[in-house]
Amino acid sequence: MEKTTTTTTAAREPRKFPPRTGGGASRGGAGGRPGGRPDRRGPRPERAKPEFEQKMLSIRRVTRVVSGGRRFSFSVVLAIGDKKGSMGLGIGKAGDTTLAIQKAFNDAKKNMLKLRLNKRGTIPHDVKAKYKAARVMLMPNTGRGVVVGSAMRVMVELAGITDITGRVISGSKDKLNIAQATMKALSIFKYANK
């Protein structure tokens, strides 16, 4: 007769976890840190408002053919302004986009215009300008707001002009040339010493 042995295993008890306090990572927990840890660093200091607002008109990847092959870099056209009559336009080129943007910003600061605007926030009279293939026309208006398009709108808004009508007369769609033509047109109203 064979002996049969039976082994009994005790039923496993479910694992017990401590109760959660302070909320999870999604809610930030106590003190604003995930998992309820207190924030020892204190409140973050507010960022200083930049001196100039900036808008990128175009960013392109450009290629230069050299003996070893092709070299790629980025070309950036950047417009800056303080919305109080000052504006500038700059071009920067570098192998990295952030470096190209910084170069364009520095170039725009060098080419700043300080405009003489009247009390209504517009230009004193009609003006036309041509830069390469781009021709633009700007006219003051009262109470109609900014009625311009393309790169002209960016330049006009960064300068702080509130009532103006503008047209791109030429068939050019190059944003850099249109922006340069706008700068040329508005340079008639710049301060003599700026």
Give dist(CA 194, CA 188) in Å, integer: 12
What pLDDT shows up at residue 27?
52
pLDDT at 20 over 90: no
Give dist(CA 116, CA 186) in Å, integer: 9
Strand order in the sheet with 127-131: 127-131, 134-140, 164-168, 146-147
Please write the tens of the pLDDT for every residue from 72-107. 999 999 999 999 999 999 999 999 999 999 999 999
CATH number for the domain formed by residue range(s) 53-189: 3.30.160.20
Task: Please report, for the chain, the start and end positions of each structural domain, with discontinuous segments joined by +.
Answer: 53-189
Average pLDDT over residues 1-23: 65
Among residues 90, 113, 112, the alpha carbon closest in space to that of 103 is found at 90
What pLDDT shows up at residue 181?
96
Q: Is the pTM of this model over 0.85?
A: no
Please write the tens of the pLDDT for every residue from 104-125. 999 999 999 999 988 888 999 9
